[in-house]
Amino acid sequence: MDCFLCDWGAFDFGSCDFGALGAPELGWIFICFAIMFTTQWIVAGLMIVAGWTLFTKAGKPGWALLVPVYNLLVLLQIIGKSWWWLLLLCIPFVNLIFYIWGTNLLAKSFGKKADFTIGLLLLPIVFYPILAFSKTEYMGPAGASGR
């Protein structure tokens, strides 16, 4: 059995002879890359629509999601925290703690509990659309019952 990468001297660039890597394999590689890139666009679109809906439910403009840094400031308003949290989100390792805390406050702001926070952290592609498209309502910063 020949190794494709073992003997580069036998590789003929002029005739496009790919040796062990034939045309069918290149076709499958192309198809896999096409599926991967298409899936990324679909996931990104779903997350943008879900985020837009969450912002709208909270009484904020949906377009704010698309503006870098401003979207974090609006999200901090939604969860009831001040602007200086943005600075804390820039510090390595500290940002993880405040990200988890902020995600928990977001879930509470929409009337969800800690188990939903775990879902938002581990499977955001599933739980953010659930939060956005379900009948949950925005209850104020951190549920307006206490922070």
pLDDT of res. 147 = 46
Please give the full DSSP string across 42-92, using - where no structure is assigned.
HHHHHHHHHHHHHHHHTTS-GGGGGSTTHHHHHHHHHHT--TTHHHHTTST
Contact 65, 52 (CB under 8 A): yes
Q: How far apart are CA 106 and CA 143, in angstroms?
A: 9
Mention every residue, 6+ apart, whose C-beta is less than 8 A from residue 56: 62
Looking at residue 1, what is its pLDDT? 52
Both tokens assigned to 21: 């890597």
Q: Is residue 19 part of a domain?
A: yes
Domain that holds residue 17: 8-144
In a domain, 106, yes or no: yes
What is the per-residue pLDDT for 117? 92
147 residues of the chain, pLDDT tens digit each: 555 555 555 555 555 555 555 566 777 788 888 888 888 888 888 999 999 999 999 899 989 999 999 999 999 999 888 888 888 888 899 889 999 999 999 999 898 888 999 999 999 999 999 999 988 888 878 766 554
Residue 36 lies in a domain: yes
Number of domains in the chain: 1
Closest C-alpha among 39, 67, 77, 49 to residue 133: 49
Phi and psi torsions of 112, nearest 5°: -100, 165
The alpha carbon of residue 110 and the mean position of all alpha carbons in its chain are separated, in whole angstroms, by: 19
Instruction: Tally helices (H) and strands (E) across the chain.
Output: 6, 0
